[in-house]
Structure formats: C-alpha cells, structure tokens
Structure 1
Amino acid sequence: MKNYFLLYILVFFVFNSSCREETPLPNIVIFLADDLGYGDLGCYGNPIIKTPNIDKLAAEGVRMTDFHSGGTVCSPSRAALLTGRNPYRSGFFYILGKDTYLKNEEITIAELLKKTGYETSFFGKWHLSTLEKEKRDEPGPGDQGFDYWMGTTVNAFDGPKNPGKFILNGKSIGVTEGWYCDIIVDKACNWLENVRNKKKPFFMYMCSHEPHTPILPPEKYSQMYDTGEVDELEKNIKYGQVTRPKKDISLNKKEYYGTVSQLDNAFGRLLNTLEELDLKENTLVIFTSDNGPETPVTIEESLGNWDDPIRDKCFGTPGDFRGMKRFPYEGGHRVPGIVRFPGIIPAGIESNVLFNGTDILPTICNLVGEAVPSDRPIDGIDAFAAFLNKKVKRDVSSIWFYPNHEDTYFRMPQMSMRKGNYSLIGWLPPKADSISLHSWMANNNPEKVELYDLSLDPSQINDISIQNPEIVASMKKEMISLWQEMRDEGLAGKNNKK
C-alpha cells in the first residue's frame, strides 16, 4: 500500500472499534544522536556499552540493519532528513558556513505536517543556520515550520556541560545548567506535558549533542567502564579500518562509553514521559544518528602540526563496516535505525531493507496523508515497508557524497552509491591547489571506482570491479548522472540567500 495510514486506520479499528469513533493522526518523534556509530549500542552488538532504554525501544519495534543517514557529516544529513532531498541539492556540500544554510525556499517535514494540523517542536542542535540573528540573518527552526523550539546553532565545541547560547523561540536564554542531552529531554518532556495543544497531533524533532566531542559525561557514567574487563573487550572493537593514533589514548574510552550510556538514560526519560502521558500507543518513534562515529586525530598528528586532544576521546565504532564519519564507505553513513509504532510495526523484528535519511519525509507524508512536494526533486521514497522488513522498490539508487580532496592524506573517496547489495565507490581526479573546491567539483566527474558486494563483503575489503565490468559500467553511468544533477543544482543555488 502506498498510504500506510490507511493500514493504520484498519488495524486500529479492528482492535479499538468499541473505544473510539475516530482514529487520530499518529504523533511523530524523531530523535537524532550526534556521531553515534552503528556498533555503539547493545542491541547492535556492542559488548561494552550499556544502553537498556534504546535496546528496549528495539525490542518493542524494529531494529534496522541497513539504515542510513542522508549524508556522511552533520549539516548535510540534517538537511536531508528534513527535506527528503540529497543535501547537495540544497548546497550542503559540507557543514554549516557563511553561505551555507537551509534556505527559506526548502520545504521541511515540519512545514508539511503543519498543513495537516500538527503542532511541531524542535529541541537541540540545529546546525542548519545560525540561530544568532545578530551575526547573520538566516532562517531558523521557526522559519522552517517549528511552532516551538529551543536550540543551539552548533554547540560542537561549547561543551556538553552547562552549554551556552541556547535560543528559545528566537530569544537567547544564555548558559543553561546541566548536560546537553538532559537539558533538551527535560525541555521536551515539559512541552509534552504542559505546553503543547493536546487537541492536536504533534511532531517533535530532537537532536542531542552526545556523543559528539567534547566528551565529558558525569563521573557516575564513566566510572561504569573503568574496569579491566572493559580494557580487554576494547581490544577487539573495530574502527572501520581507519588508522588510530600512535599515542596511547586508551584511558579515554570510559568517557565515550559513559556518554553513550548517559544519552541512553536521557532518551529513556523521554520514552517514560510518552508512556506516562498515555501517548505511547499512538506515537511513531524513530531513533537514529546523523552519521558514523568520529575518529581521533591521526592525519594531523602524522604531519606533526596539530594536536587535538578533544578528539582523543572518540571510541565510537561502525561495527563491521568500513569507514567512519565523513567516509562515503558504509561506516560513514550506515547508522542505527530503530522505529516503534505499536500495533503497526511488530515488536522485536529486524529489517535488513535499505532505508535512507531522505526517505523520512516522504514516508511520514504518506503515513499521514500529506502530499509530497511535487515542484522539486525529492530523492527519498515512501519506504514504510522497510519498517516491516518488506521489500522497497527504488527506481533511483541512493547516493552519498563528501567533498574531500586531500586524497594523499585521507585516502578517502568522494562518493558512494548503493544498488541492491552492490556498493560503487567513486573518486574524482586530484584537485590542483590553484583550483577552488567548487570549481573542482563543477568540472570533474568520478573516474576511479571500486565495487563491493555487501551481501558477501560487508566490510568492503574485496574490490570486485574488474570481475564485473557490466555492473560497473551501468552503476558508474548512474552515479555520474546523479552526481552532475545534484551537484549542479546545489552550485546553482549557492548564492541564493533567500
């Protein structure tokens, strides 16, 4: 079925026909962690980190093993989630910058849901424009469809404890005591209980700081992992085939593990509030991450010109997958994806069907009966069937980009594309120092490629491109077409500051 809300109505009336005359629109909660790796949760096989609340969510819904963020780094993936469009289309080639922000002309999930009668709220890290209007007058959450919001522009290096520069509905409230994830969960729970219009369905979008750097959990969480057993278990953790620092940073791992457990605890309080307010049964909850886990500094360390201890606490893992944050390999964008919708999604199931961050907007629109924008390319599709471990038909392959051009140091490709179980990896030709990043992108197409069959080689170790020239030719043709289309749309609108 294209409209899964019809299925929802049918199921609801079968079991609840004597209780209600009308079936309400479902509430929707999206919780986005920051730099949380695919392998960082207990329910995804982490042998160290305790995440009982997120694990419980998985036991009550679907744990997805092929769920992807829409980008390989922060701002792009957030733009993709809210708009259903590849972030390159909206000019997000990298993170938020002076001329890179989510323009007013983009249409978000929040704006679409408001048309259907939803009340909308946002809490946490925005990272799609500056929220400090005195610096630059750019659209914020209130301009992008959120009725009530409290957030920070980035907070990447402001510290998780007592974070400053929180903006509440456009007004600065300054430093707020506590830890970031606890602050936003407390505020969200208060909104649920005391602020929202209880006669309306709601959409709530939450973005934690954790476990992004700087990493500094309360001591009670880090102490949980200050043991010899943890020391031994960590020796077998995989880090996406990415080189780790030569210096010993092992004492820092308890800080990272403790931060993930702290995040789990905060998320658990949000789930408890939904249950206490009798909202659990009619609320779709999506828990995911904006990209793969961060790496400690290794490149700059090897060059001998930068010491960045703030990232020496990064012990996130992509599990068996290759690459981490920024990498177009699977580990850069394959992330945890857990979805609960009681009565519609069976409890405790697993789905191995691909779901991309761009699919969130059209999936939610079709769920509630709202039309997907037809005046612009939408790269996502209604993929609700993936939540049920059912096949999803994609006419266009999913693609991810990262504009790295320092191949000598990073040995990182610029793009990857999925078609079924095949992953095609692409490199642009080397960039000359005299050429700008945008000129380099605008005038080049992927040349070198690698091909992997993820059903046989999830760690992307064995390049099979030479053995499969026909598959490579077909996929490379599509990759170049998508690259040119999305890149050119983004570059064309780069100076459009509406």
Structure 2
Amino acid sequence: MNVFRIVLLSPLLLGLAVFAGSSKPPAKSAKPVAASATPNVVIIYGDDVGFGDVGVYGSKLIPTPNIDRLAAQGISFSDGHCSAATCTPSRFSMLTGIHAFRYNARILPPNAPLIIPTDKLTLPKLFKQAGYQTAVIGKWHLGLGVTGELPDWNGDVKPGPLEIGFDYSYLLPNTNDRVPCVYLAGHRVVNLDPADPIYVGKTLADVQKPGSTQYPDGKTNREAMTVYQSTHGHDDSVVNGIGRIGYMSGGKAALWQEDELTDVFVGKAKEYIAAHKDEPFFLYFASQDIHVPRYPHKRFRGKTKLGHRGDAMVAFDWATGEIMKALEKHGLTQNTIVIFSSDNGPAYDDGYDDGSVVECSQEESDHGHDASGIWRGGKYQIYEGGTRVPFILRWPARIKPGLSDAMVNQIDFMASFAALLDIELPADEAVDSRDTLDAFLGDDPIGLEFMVEESFGLALRHNDWKFIEPSKPKWPKGRLPIAMALHDLGDDPSEQVNLAQVHPEKTAKMNAMLQNVKKGSGVRETFK
C-alpha cells in the first residue's frame, strides 16, 4: 500500500470506527446464520452520486448515517468503479458484463428502443439459472420497445426488463428529467386513463394529438417552469412545473409527483422483500436520487446547507436505511449481499438552476462540498471522478468488515456472481467481465491489475498508472478535446501532471493494450 493510499483511507477508518461504535447491530437470528450458496443479493444503485457524497468517503456536509452503517458492517472499496462516466453505459455494462462501447450504448432519448439484446446473458438471467426471483425497481433508462418502432405507451410497452430476465419491474422508464413522467409496472403504464392517451416525441407537433392533455412548451413558455428554471437542454414539455427533455401529451392521471418518487420506490422494494423472504431473490434497486431534477420530499428539504442536491442525498440515505430495515425485519440481514454504489460520478449544474452550484467551471464548487473527493472531474469526464464512486459490499454471514484498496469494477459482477453460484459463463457471454469474487469478499487485497474506463473516450488503468486516449467529445456542448495523457495516480491522484512525454514507452505500451481491448473479443480474453 503506498503512502497516498494510507492518507486516503485514514478518514475512512475514522468514519467506520465512529459508526461501528454508535450504530445498532443488525437483528440477529436465534442461531448463527451460515453463508448460503444462494444468498439474496440487493444492489442499491445511486444516480450521479460522487465518491465524496458519502460520509464514510469523506463528506462533511451531507449526513449519511445509514450508508455509513452499511459500510461499518461491510467492506468499503477506495478504488471501486462503475464502468463509464455516464448512466446508460454503466447500467448496460453492469447488467451484461459487456463494455457499452461495443454496442454503441449511449445516453438514450425518451423513445429509444431496448439496447440490451434479449438473447444475451444478463445478471438477472444468471440469477434465474440459480433459482432466484429477480426484480428491478426504480430508474431504467436502457430503452423500451424494438428498434424502428415507437413504444406503445398506451398498450404493452415491451420488450423491456421482463424480456432480459427480470420477473418483476416497477420503473421510471427513462430518467426523471425525461418524458414520459409516469410509472411503468411490468409492461403497462400505472393509472393510465384510456381517454387521455400518452404520446411522446421529439417535437411539440409530434404530441399535439386531439383528446390528450397538453403540457406547456418550455421554449416558448418559461413561466411554466414554476419549480425552477432550466439552464440548458430541459425546455421541452413542462410537467409538474419542471422542464423536461422531450415532449409528451396525455397521461395526466398517471403522472408521478417529483417529491414522492423516493417514497414510492422504497415502498415497492419493501413489498418485494416481504413477498420473497422465503426464497432467494435478486433486487436491483435503481434509485433516481440524486439525478436532476432534484426535488426531494419536504421532510428532507433543509437537512443540508447544499440545497436540493445535498437534501436529495439525505433522502437517498434514508432509502438505503429503509431497505436495510426491511431485511432486518424479515431476518435476512446475515445472508443477504447488499451492494451500494453509483452509476457515475457527480454532476452539479446538469440542466436546472436548483441552487446547487456556487461556482460553475471545469471543477465546479458546491458550497464547499467536493462531491468527487480528491479525484478530478465527475460525470461525463474520463478522469477518475467520473467512474470512481462509493462502493460498499456487506454480507455478514461471509465477510469481515473492513477497508479495501483492491481495484474493482461493477462490470465484473457477472463473472463474480457466476463463480459464487458455480455457473460457467459461455465464452461469448459477458466478455468483458472477470471473476473478482475474492476481492469483493475481502480475500484479495489487489483486485484487478488492468481495467478500462469509459466516457466519450476510453482510458486504461494498470495498477496506479492511467492512460487516456485522445478524443473529441461531441457532447455535452462546450467540452474541450481530450489530449493523450499518462498519469501516475500514486503520486498524482488528481491527474494534474501529464507524463505521456516523460514515459513514452509506458504510454505506447498502454495505448497498444487499450487498442487490443477495443478490437478484441473482450477484456476477459485480452487480460486472461
């Protein structure tokens, strides 16, 4: 362990010591519970939650007692990553074990078709092979319907989660800043009035249909944005006083209420746990917190000095605690693997003037709170802050609480759970997923030697070395071209010093390895 890592982990140690001593232990069964070959698995997945947004990872201005308690009872990874710095690619990779760039998976518009092929092995399909019940609750944003056809929002919306291995789904179809602003249970929109059919399109003309509720156009009626104004790109249909990406009409009786999203999804998760407490289950709880538009329930507003963003993080911490309580209530704590993480690094001004940003620049400032910690960048960026996120794993029946420097990645859930469940992965499935189960369980302090990071370009990590390939991001607007770079994270964790010219041989070698990954059949084959 190098000196930097010792310094980095010291606040984690202090935080864990405090919460380990002050938190109540999980409910215990009458007899000790041995680790089962089929533990329940719950993934609590945050949206735009940065490394520094959690107390145990250094946050001083956002109270996260429930997440910190989870960390005190499990393993906290200091080098834990999602696979990409944006949401759709990370979710695609986690559920398939395939890097998103191989399928050109990018942030999706409202009417996008399902981007996960229904014939591919997925994480829920893997669990089903082992006899699990599977569920997804929360944000989806992986597309719905088939290529070349618009989803039928007034009928069966499919294919979707049920066609890629989930037995149960209760969804936010896209993101909370995109239309349609309705819940989707299974294949059907919840509470849809057939007399007020839903239409979704790219332009206002696409949705101006007789008989359907019409919503204000944010481009011509900014006064309709009564919650707060959009800053960029969120000025199409104004629903519930908030501008959205995309246009919709109809579905007034089915609309969600912004400040009730967290409560609704937590309620569905608790119902699901209670219904399946007597059989192994896999629950993917994909929270919309703390993605924009941030408008937490009034009981969370004002809990921080960071505006809606900080308060939304408090709401997400509450949601985490409620899921933990549900597991405790049904005696499932000991033999349930709970994973807490995020789909990418933090974003501040991401389309709305919600009071989260004081200084808006390349390195944005949130009232003195640094959501990326010491890491450079955040959402959309190839730097460490884009993919290095909170990463906690708890399994009381099997692992000892502690801290880990191991480099781990969500894309490796597929191969690692396959190993846990004693399932052999076909050579052409989950091609970028590697078995890092020992690292996830705290038995391997090293984890991955090599790892690919993705944004609008690619980077390769080799232990503490990081190579960034040159790229020209086309979106978001205003992003500057990324130059070829080589960083030594051991000495330069914030990626300020480009060593590409200082170490040309190392640069060339890592570039060649990255190109081999891009053109090869998969990371598992490249780095075996």
Does the C-alpha gap of structure 1 residues 85 and 421 become closer, same or farther in structure 2, counting only changes over 3 Å?
same
The aligned counterpart of 1:142 is: 162
1:24 positional shift: 5.3
Match of 1:180 among 248, 253, 261: 261
Distance 2:470 2:78 in 1: 26
Instruction: Name the TM-score, length of structure 2 as normaliser.
Output: 0.71
Q: Are 2:464 and 1:421 aligned?
A: yes
- Once residues 175 and 465 of structure 2 are traced to their aligned partners in structure 1, the CA distance between those partners, rounded to angstroms, is 37
1:490 match: none
Match status 1:470 vs 2:505: yes
Shift of 1:267: 1.2
Q: Tell me how far apart the structure 1 counterparts of residues 176 and 35 of structure 2 sit (CA, whole Å).
A: 44
Find the aligned partners of 1:209 and 1:22 in 2 and give their Cα distance.
32
Map 1:342-361 onto structure 2 (within 5 A).
342-347=396-401, 349-361=402-414
Query: CA 1:219–1:421 in structure 2 vs 1: closer, same or farther (change >3 Å)?
Result: same
Structure 1: gaps of 5 or more residues = 1-15, 227-252, 298-307, 404-413, 432-445, 488-498
Query: In the aligned structure 2, how far is the partner of 1:30 from the partner of 1:156?
Result: 20
Specify which of 476, 480, 487 is matched with residue 452 of structure 1: 487
Aligned residue number for residue 493 of structure 1: none
Kindly indicate which of the two structures has a greater share of residues assigned to helix.
1
Is the aligned partner of 1:380 residue 2:433? Answer: yes
Q: Which residue of 1 aligns with 2:52?
A: 39
1:291/1:333 contact within 8 Å kept = yes
- State the partner residue of 2:295: 216
Aligned partner (choices 376, 380, 383) of residue 329 of structure 1: 383
Identify if the C-alpha distance between structure 1 residues 31 and 429 changes in structure 2 by more than 3 Å, giving closer, same or farther. closer
Structure 1 pair 292–393 and aligned structure 2 pair: CA distance change class (3 A): closer
Q: How far off is 1:146 after superposition?
A: 0.7
Residue 209 of structure 1, CA deviation: 0.6
1:383·1:392 contact (CA, 8 Å) conserved in 2? no
RMSD over aligned Cα atoms:
2.9
CA distance in 2, matches of 1:205, 1:88: 23
Contact 1:24–1:201 (Cα < 8 Å) also in 2: no
Aligned to 2:291, what secondary structure does the other structure show?
coil
- 1:247 matched residue in structure 2: none
Cα distance in 2 for residues equivalent to 1:429 and 1:201: 46
CA–CA distance in structure 2, aligned partners of residues 280 and 421 of structure 1: 35
Q: Give the letter aligned to residue 170 of structure 2.
A: M
Q: Secondary structure at the match of 1:260?
A: helix
Q: Aligned ranges for residues 176-325 of structure 1 at < 5 Å?
A: 176=256, 179-193=260-274, 195-196=275-276, 198-226=277-305, 253-296=306-349, 308-310=351-353, 313=356, 315=366, 317-325=371-379
Q: Which of 136, 139, 146 is residue 125 of structure 1 equivalent to?
A: 139
Q: Deviations over 1:373-415 (max 9, x none)?
A: 32245212111222316245657x3212333xxxxxxxxxx22
AA aligned opposite 1:52: P
Pick the aligned partner of 2:444 from 373, 377, 390.
390
Q: Which moved more, 1:308-317 or 1:98-107?
A: 308-317
Distance 1:19-1:376 versus aligned 2 partners, 3 A rule: closer
1:154 to 165, 174, 179: 174
SS in structure 2 at match of 1:362: helix
Over 3 Å counting, the alpha-carbon distance change for 1:34 and 1:417 in structure 2 is same
- Once the 2 structures are TM-superposed, how far is the Cα of residue 284 of structure 1 from its aligned partner? 0.4
Tell me, in whole angstroms, the C-alpha distance in 2 between the residues paired with 1:81 and 1:56: 25
Give the conservation status (yes or no) of the 8 Å contact 1:353–1:389: no
Aligned position for 2:96 = 83
Change (3 A) 1:158 1:87: closer
The aligned amino acid for 1:101 is I
Amino acid at match of 2:48: D
Question: How far does residue 191 in structure 1 lie from its aligned partner after superposition?
Answer: 1.4
Q: What is the distance in 2 between the residues matched to 1:291 and 1:469? A: 30
- Which residue of the other structure, out of 146, 170, 188, is the alignment partner of 2:187? 170
Aligned amino acid, residue 348 of structure 2: T
Q: Report if the CA contact (8 A) 2:139-2:288 is conserved.
A: yes
Conserved? CA contact 2:96–2:430, under 8 Å: no
Task: Pick from 518, 521, 525 the counterpart of residue 483 of structure 1.
Answer: 518
- Could you say what secondary structure the match of 1:272 adopts? helix
- Please tell me whether the aligned partners of residues 406 and 447 of structure 2 are also in contact (alpha carbons under 8 angstroms): no
Deviations 1:97-151 (A, max 9, x none): 6367222122211011111100111101111112784069652110011111111
